[in-house]
Structure 1
Amino acid sequence: MTLDTNPTILMVPGLRDHVAQHWQTLLQDKLPKAASVPPLENDKLSCAARVAALDAALATIDGPVILVAHSAGVMITVHWARRHKRKIHGALLVTPADLDTPLPAGYPSIDLLARNGWLPAPRDPLPFRSIVGASRNDPLARFHRVSAMAQDWRSRLVDLGEVGHLNPTSGFGEWPMAERLIRELF
């Protein structure tokens, strides 16, 4: 199986939604059978609204799906998995934001995240194969915390090294490793 055949690749962006030079956006543009959860117009910080948007995007796809989530998109994915039963072929969960610990300035507080249904972050085993990509110097999650999440989710952990939050701010646009990791889920 190649990336241009089944399954459909569904991007699950984080709270900043679509960023033009983000690896997810660039990868979606590159792959012939890829889609993305659309940005929210309302309730942008609501976990329930984000989970509903993921579920609505999945409802438009027939056949197998691989989820490719980044940052809070990983948390959206694990909250979705706790509430829904659709079969997922696999998931690539990249640099999850650790919402259970205080985030840097400019990000929502723990109280605000709790009021919007994000906490506690699910740690139940995922009902599908998954790979967690963890950064050694992510400002939104310490490596040992992401490693523990991966273990709880029964995901394979991939140490990405020092890649920051693996976003344009960290110097990443194209990220070729994503394609290799997605292929491992086929």
Structure 2
Amino acid sequence: MKQPRIVIVPGWRDSGAGHWQTLWQERMPGAQRVVQDDWASPTRAAWVGALTKLVLQGDEPVVIAAHSLGCIAVAHLPPEAAAKVQGALLAAPADPERRAVLHDFAPVPYAALPYRSIVVASSNDPFCPVRLAGAYARAWGSEFVRMQNAGHINSDSGHGPWALGLALFQSLYSEELLAIS
């Protein structure tokens, strides 16, 4: 079996220098980041298209680390791309119905994902109520981790390298596949 490829899927407006996604990418050899043409005014077709294209490159399985709107883009993957996903960490999913600029991503799919996934949400995320994140997790067949008062689980809420997230992400792999020092 081929070693999975790591795909980082940022949310709306990308993930900056101190964000856990950026820090992980810098420390994970071969990790690839989805790059969007328009980070400020996202459209579902463009975002899901860019993600699909990256996932379908190569023939190895993919393990995804998604944040915010990136989680919703992952949920919208077409079947041929979803079939290549081995696992996904879906941190602080967005609620596209709460912000007009994200409305193109609604409705959020409520179908089981065909791979192991972990949804991590915060009790006080300003961009998605924890109950909605829990509903996503149930619908997607995901494991659900509820963090207390963790904000949007980004650098603004103090989650630089985010050790808990890294441990959850590593659980999507065989132990020997990901060694980060």
TM category, shorter: 0.7 to 0.9
Q: Does 1:21 align with 2:18?
A: yes
Q: Does 1:113 align with 2:106?
A: no
**1:41, distance to aligned residue in structure 2 (A):** 4.5
Q: Secondary structure of the residue that 2:77 maps to in structure 1? A: helix
**1:18, distance to aligned residue in structure 2 (A):** 3.4
Aligned to 2:6: 9
Question: 1:45 is matched by which residue type in structure 2?
Answer: P
Question: 1:153 is matched by which residue type in structure 2?
Answer: W
Q: Does 1:50 align with 2:39?
A: no
Q: Structure 1 pair 180/81, CA: closer, same or farther in 2 (3 Å)?
A: farther
Q: In 1, are the aligned partners of 2:14 and 2:39 still within 8 Å (CA)?
A: no
Computed over aligned residues only, the root mean square deviation of the Cα atoms, in angstroms, reads 2.0
Alignment of 1:114-133 (within 5 A): 114=103, 117-133=104-120
Cα offsets for 1:38-81 (capped at 9, x unmatched)? 13248841111000010111133431110110000000000114
Q: Structure 1 pair 131/39, CA: closer, same or farther in 2 (3 Å)?
A: same
Write the distance in 2 (CA, Å) between the matches of 1:150 and 1:185.
16
Q: Does 1:90 align with 2:90?
A: no
Q: Secondary structure of the residue that 1:124 maps to in structure 2? A: coil
Please list every run of 5 or more consecutive structure 1 residues that lacks an aligned counterpart in the other structure.
Answer: 103-107
Q: Secondary structure of the residue that 2:76 maps to in structure 1? A: helix
Question: How many residues matched?
Answer: 172
Q: In 1, are the aligned partners of 2:12 and 2:40 still within 8 Å (CA)?
A: no
**1:83, distance to aligned residue in structure 2 (A):** 7.3
Q: Structure 1 pair 174/42, CA: closer, same or farther in 2 (3 Å)?
A: closer
Q: Does 1:152 align with 2:139?
A: yes
Please list every run of 5 or more consecutive structure 2 residues that lacks an aligned counterpart in the other structure.
Answer: 174-181
Question: 2:102 is matched by which residue type in structure 1?
Answer: L
Q: In 2, are the aligned partners of 1:8 and 1:61 still within 8 Å (CA)?
A: no
So what's the TM-score if we normalise by structure 1?
Answer: 0.84
Judge which range, 15-24 or 46-55, deviates more. Answer: 15-24
Q: Does 1:70 align with 2:67?
A: yes
**1:20, distance to aligned residue in structure 2 (A):** 1.2
Aligned to 1:140: 127
Q: Does 1:169 align with 2:156?
A: yes
Write the distance in 1 (CA, Å) between the matches of 2:153 and 2:82.
30
Percent of residue pairs identical: 38
Q: Structure 1 pair 118/41, CA: closer, same or farther in 2 (3 Å)?
A: closer
Aligned to 2:32: 35
